[in-house]
């Protein structure tokens, strides 16, 4: 087996597109800096609503196959080469939005046994030995069953891996500081007449918004803004990126700010020794592996 780079980052996501929206700039930055970036996506998102009218005939497995191609294209934009579907493509089905009958499908991720799925993910952790794992919080950021389940599986897999010999030094949740979200929406509402979307979403529509004090880490991805926007555009069935690349909408057509600085909360492991900043500026800070 070839030797992996010294710095290794693993991100766990529910559907193709979540990684580009939440972490596109972070992933592009670390890939460009020579870190090994591994994305594990738990489902193919085959119950997602499709935006372009000409692609709305895609449903079920056909949509899943299409979204896998979108994911591959998005990762090419970010320079990320190690992309995996948990248990193999199609192993876990999209569970649909919370409260739908889809949630009861025995093949959906929401119904999956957490320990079994976590054991599969733990194999990836033991292979890669990442210093950093990025996951959702216990609400999945916004309550989608697949996101909640991705949280459970990721955290359980970290436990499995620790028992089997690799303790992940740092585990983070995807976050957005409330003040940043509020300021971005204020700007967005002013820009709305020039955007191709009829209305603005609200702060409460953004996954992972928390009080600023909870934020431990801020990754400046300004240099990778174009890569992030291109990756989001690659998910054309799910995301509509506005010209100017400062806003986007999902299938609800509500404008949201496109963040190129991405935020995290350290939930396991030691924060970097205080370098005089309020927040870490590197997910690997303190692990002994620096750029």
Q: Tell me whether residue 235 is annotated as binding.
A: no
Say if residues 283 and 9 touch (Cβ distance below 8 Å). Answer: yes
Span of 15-23, 83-91, 189-197, 276-284 interacting with Zn ion by CB under 5 A: 15-23
Q: Which is nearer to Zn ion, 20 or 131 (CB)?
A: 20
User: Residues near 82 by Cβ (< 8 Å), separated by ≥ 6?
Assistant: 36, 37, 38, 39, 128
Please answer whether residues 173 and 148 qualify as being in contact, where contact means their C-beta atoms are separated by less than 8 angstroms.
no
**74 counts as binding Zn ion under rule CB under 5 A:** no
Residue 11 binds Zn ion (CB under 5 A): no
**Segment near Zn ion (CB under 5 A); pick from 11-19, 81-89, 123-131, 203-211:** 11-19
Choose among 113, 111, 103, 120: nearest CA to 40: 120
Contact 216, 264 (CB under 8 A): yes
Q: Is 18 annotated to bind ligand? A: yes
Note whether 46 binds Zn ion by CB under 5 A.
no
Number of residues engaging Zn ion in binding (CB under 5 A)? 3
On whether the CB atoms of residues 228 and 28 are closer than 8 A, the answer is yes
Does 21 participate in binding Zn ion (rule CB under 5 A)?
A: no
15 marked as binding residue? yes
Asked if 152 interacts with Zn ion (CB under 5 A), we say no
Residue with the closest Cβ to Zn ion?
15
Asked if 15 touches Zn ion (CB under 5 A), the answer is yes
Letter string b/e over residues 108-127, b meaning 16 or more CB atoms within 10 A of that residue's CB: bbbebeeeebbbbbbebbee
User: Among residues 10, 11, 12, 14, which is the contact residue for Zn ion, using CB under 5 A?
Assistant: 14
Strands 247-249 and 254-257: antiparallel
> Residue 135 interacts with Zn ion (CB under 5 A)?
no
Kindly state the smallest distance separating residue 93's Cβ from Zn ion, in Å. Answer: 13
Annotated binding site for Zn(2+): 15, 18, 147
**Interacting residue ranges for Zn ion, rule: CB under 5 A:** 14-15, 18
């Amino acid at each position: 087996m070839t030797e992996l780079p010294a710095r290794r980052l693993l991100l766990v996501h529910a559907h193709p597109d979540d990684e580009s929206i939440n972490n596109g700039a972070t992933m592009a930055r670390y890939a460009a800096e020579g870190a090994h970036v591994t994305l594990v996506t738990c489902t193919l998102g085959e119950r997602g609503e499709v935006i372009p009218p000409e692609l709305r005939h895609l449903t079920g497995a056909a949509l899943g196959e299409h979204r896998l191609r979108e994911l591959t294209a998005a990762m090419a934009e970010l320079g990320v080469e190690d992309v995996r579907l948990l248990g193999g493509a199609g192993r876990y089905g999209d569970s649909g939005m919370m409260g739908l009958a889809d949630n009861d499908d025995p093949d959906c991720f929401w119904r999956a046994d957490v320990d079994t799925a976590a054991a599969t993910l733990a194999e990836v952790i033991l292979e890669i030995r990442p210093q950093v794992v990025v996951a959702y919080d216990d609400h999945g950021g916004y309550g989608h069953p697949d996101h909640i389940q991705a949280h459970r599986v990721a955290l359980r897999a970290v436990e499995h891996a620790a028992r089997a010999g690799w303790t992940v030094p740092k585990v983070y949740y995807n976050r957005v500081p409330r003040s940043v979200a509020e300021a971005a929406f204020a700007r967005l509402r002013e820009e709305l007449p020039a955007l191709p979307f009829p209305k603005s979403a609200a702060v409460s529509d953004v996954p992972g918004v928390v009080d600023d004090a909870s934020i431990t880490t801020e990754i400046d991805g300004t240099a990778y803004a174009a890569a992030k926007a291109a990756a989001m555009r690659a998910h054309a069935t799910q995301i509509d990126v506005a010209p100017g690349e400062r806003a986007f909408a999902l299938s609800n057509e509500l404008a949201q700010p496109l963040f190129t600085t991405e935020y995290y909360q350290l939930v396991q492991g030691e924060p970097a020794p205080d370098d005089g900043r309020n927040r870490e500026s590197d997910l690997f800070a303190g692990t002994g592996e620096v750029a």
